[in-house]
């Protein structure tokens, strides 16, 4: 086959164009620090990148759910701590009132304080964080205890569960109908009535037993909350590790090795200069070159 000058020129220009294209791609990798900028650059890397990004987004959503879970757990435990203190104070007052030597006005003063503590328990039962009531199950828009006399408990005890891992749902709320039952408020009202100053005989043994049961119920619920919190913390540590792993896998798949890219760029520049020099030698001079 006869090789003509035009064939040499066309091949040279084609190769130079390819060389510039390679340099452009390497330069683009240096600027973006990514192996590819479009799926067509490497479909395998692109497909893996979609999977890794989906996994990372899922893990990051779980991390946001952990924040919400801690919000429920921490505020519920703090509220139950206040309820425990209120009931323990009521018990102290009841023990004091059970002393037969107290006069009517003294029992009346104790009854007034217990009334205030009862109302405080109502407020704790209706604890609200943001726009959510903590103790009314899934009905977070309405309070647990209605402000009537005697207090009425709404009765929603459905669990609030959050997905904290793939397919793993953890309950984050407390059953308010168990802790702040209508029976609790009925017993407190009965206790207050017994402390009427005109009542000369006061026997509060049953009331003390009821208070002990209520306190134990709250303590048991707080123990349950503590156990859930421990599990949530363990799961959160695992999710943090998964986030690190997912980020690393995505980085290994997409991010360039800068040392390699710089080396490739220097090599390609050398090839480019050599090609230009070779082209200058093989392309024959034209008539214009002789007329200079």
pLDDT in tens, 73-90: 999 999 999 999 999 999
State residue 151's pLDDT score: 75
State residue 19's pLDDT score: 67
Which stretches of the chain are DSSP H helices? 5-32, 43-97, 104-125, 176-179, 182-194, 205-254, 258-282, 287-290
Report the candidate in 177, 162, 171 with the shortest Cα–Cα distance to residue 67. Answer: 162
Report the candidate in 204, 202, 192, 205 with the shortest Cα–Cα distance to residue 102. Answer: 202
pLDDT category at 247 given cuts 50, 70, 90 is confident
State residue 281's pLDDT score: 64
pLDDT tens for 32-78 read: 677 777 777 778 877 887 888 888 899 999 999 999 999 999 999 99
* Residue extents of the structural domains in the chain: 51-250
Specify the pairing of strand 168-171 against strand 132-133. Answer: unpaired
CA atoms 224, 228, 233, 237: torsion sign: positive
What six digits make up the tokens of 76? 């519920």
State residue 186's pLDDT score: 92
Residue pair 98/204 in contact (Cβ under 8 Å)? The answer is yes
Residue pair 146/173 in contact (Cβ under 8 Å)? The answer is no
State residue 280's pLDDT score: 64
Residue pair 114/195 in contact (Cβ under 8 Å)? The answer is yes
Q: Which residues fall within 8 angstroms of residue 246, CB to CB, at 6 or more apart?
A: 52, 55, 56, 59
Residue pair 175/80 in contact (Cβ under 8 Å)? The answer is no
Residue 80, CA distances (Å) to 43, 185, 187, 238 in order: 56, 16, 19, 29
Phi, psi of 125 (to 5 degrees): -60, -25
pLDDT category at 265 given cuts 50, 70, 90 is low
Q: Which fold has domain 51-250?
A: f41 fragment of flagellin, N-terminal domain (1.20.1330)
Residue pair 34/253 in contact (Cβ under 8 Å)? The answer is no
State residue 25's pLDDT score: 72
pLDDT category at 171 given cuts 50, 70, 90 is very high
Phi, psi of 53 (to 5 degrees): -65, -40
Q: Return the bridge partners of 153, or none.
A: 145
CA–CA gap between residue 237 and residue 249 (Å, rounded): 19
């Amino acid at each position: 086959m006869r090789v003509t000058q035009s064939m040499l020129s066309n091949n040279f220009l084609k190769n130079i164009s390819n060389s510039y294209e390679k340099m452009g791609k390497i330069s683009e990798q240096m600027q973006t620090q990514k192996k590819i900028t479009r799926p067509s650059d490497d479909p395998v890397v692109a497909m893996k990148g979609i999977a890794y990004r989906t996994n990372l987004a899922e893990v990051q959503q779980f991390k946001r759910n952990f924040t919400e879970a801690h919000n429920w757990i921490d505020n519920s435990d703090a509220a139950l701590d206040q309820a425990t203190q209120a009931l323990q104070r009521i018990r102290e007052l009841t023990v004091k009132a059970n002393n037969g030597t107290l006069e009517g006005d003294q029992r009346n003063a104790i009854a007034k304080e217990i009334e205030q503590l009862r109302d405080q328990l109502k407020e704790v039962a209706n604890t609200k964080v943001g726009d959510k009531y903590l103790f009314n199950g899934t009905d977070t828009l309405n309070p647990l205890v209605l402000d009537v006399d005697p207090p009425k408990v709404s009765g929603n005890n459905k669990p609030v569960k959050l997905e904290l891992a793939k397919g793993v749902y953890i309950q984050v709320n407390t059953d308010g109908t168990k802790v702040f039952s209508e029976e609790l408020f009925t017993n407190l009202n009965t206790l207050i009535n017994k402390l009427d100053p005109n009542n000369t005989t006061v026997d509060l043994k049953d009331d003390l037993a009821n208070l002990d049961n209520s306190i134990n119920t709250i303590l048991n619920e707080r123990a349950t909350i503590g156990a859930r919190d421990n599990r949530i913390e363990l799961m959160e540590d695992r999710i943090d590790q998964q986030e690190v792993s997912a980020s690393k896998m995505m980085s290994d798949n997409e991010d360039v090795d800068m040392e390699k890219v710089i080396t490739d760029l220097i090599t390609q520049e050398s090839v480019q200069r050599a090609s230009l020099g070779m082209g200058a030698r093989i392309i024959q001079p034209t008539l214009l070159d002789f007329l200079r």
